[in-house]
Amino acid sequence: MRIGITCYPTYGGSGIVATELGMELAARGHDVHFITYANPIRLDPNLERIHYHEVEVSNYPLFQYPPYCLALASRMAEVAESYDLDVLHVHYAIPHSISAMLARQMVQKRRKLPFVTTLHGTDITLVGTDPSYFPITKFSIEESDGVTAISDDLRRQTLEVFGVTNEVRVIHNFVNCSLYAPDPERSGLARFAPDGEKLLIHLSNFRPVKRVNDCIRILAEVRKHTNARLLMVGDGPERGAAEHLAGQLGVQKAVEFLGKQNNVQSLIRLAHVLLMPSEMESFGLAALEAMACGVPAIGTRVGGVPELITDGVDGFLGNVGDVEGQAARAVELLTDEGLHGRMATAARHTALTRFCTEKIIPRYVRYYEDVLT
């Protein structure tokens, strides 16, 4: 199959999932063409059957805002005809699904070009509910030849908010369980914990919804009971506030801000616990990647997270903003080796049996086949 994929080529979850999906499809013999304004962060363009097509936007003086949506549609249509694509798969509704719809119309007299839209969360819960974008988001979903959502919760919200009648098929996020795997020795831990401290880790794009300041507060509470350090992986608008708060709470020397990282699996497997105190997560990809590495996650009871973490079995779930409660769970995991071992094993088992690429990627392929029939 020849598949065109469009996503935001950044560190956000939708771009990561789209990139990983494309590479997994290519590894299974499909030809994958990424059509984006920049090379996706995690994409290796040198992989066999992976192709990258840049979308260039001309910035004419007449345009106050460069018309990326139109440039993307033109590039989609061009690539589809030049490389005989079977299907377009766009991640994040706006503007990608509208561009795909225009591309489909541009080539419809000469060929069929269906497109699948995958909803990732904020395209529905934030952007889509904005009055300026609500009608076009609803229209883009209704015009899609296929629609998937990354969790049952997101599917429910989509149907409730937009009242669409199309089928929205749930295909959960996935993880490469060979790449994201435990390292029992935690080789290289001494670099971040030179005195044998236990290690907490947080990964995100540091937007307000991720509540990164809660991670700093959790660390401060944890250190009242046991010696621990925290790795903050990623970057974004809340980083400065988090750095300032670490200084205020006197834990700045126990926190390391690493910025954006590509090979996050090498960092995750060093940690003992992952913190994900978000006020909204449609799935919780960072938690899944940690679980695959045998690192229990402490998340919040929001969105699709309970579909991933079973509280008290393979991780813990807390209430949004309950810093003391989440810190207490972290202390339990860091100080009770038996508990940590059981949860680490259960977390890895959850990833292997429910969310491994071998479980999820074939579901996308079957969906493409359904859309093409």
* Lowest mean pLDDT, pick from 111-120, 128-137, 196-205, 249-258: 128-137
Q: How much is the pTM? A: 0.92
pLDDT bucket at 99, cuts 50 / 70 / 90: very high
* Average pLDDT over every residue of 50-77: 89
Task: Calculate mean pLDDT across residues 296-307.
Answer: 97
Instruction: Please report which residue ranges of the chain form alpha helices under DSSP H.
Output: 13-27, 68-82, 96-107, 122-125, 134-143, 152-162, 212-222, 239-248, 265-268, 285-292, 305-308, 323-335, 337-350, 357-372
Domains in the chain: ranges and CATH: 2-174+357-372 (3.40.50.2000), 189-355 (3.40.50.2000)
Q: Is the pLDDT of residue 214 over 90?
A: yes
* Confidence label for 11 from pLDDT (cuts 50, 70 and 90): low
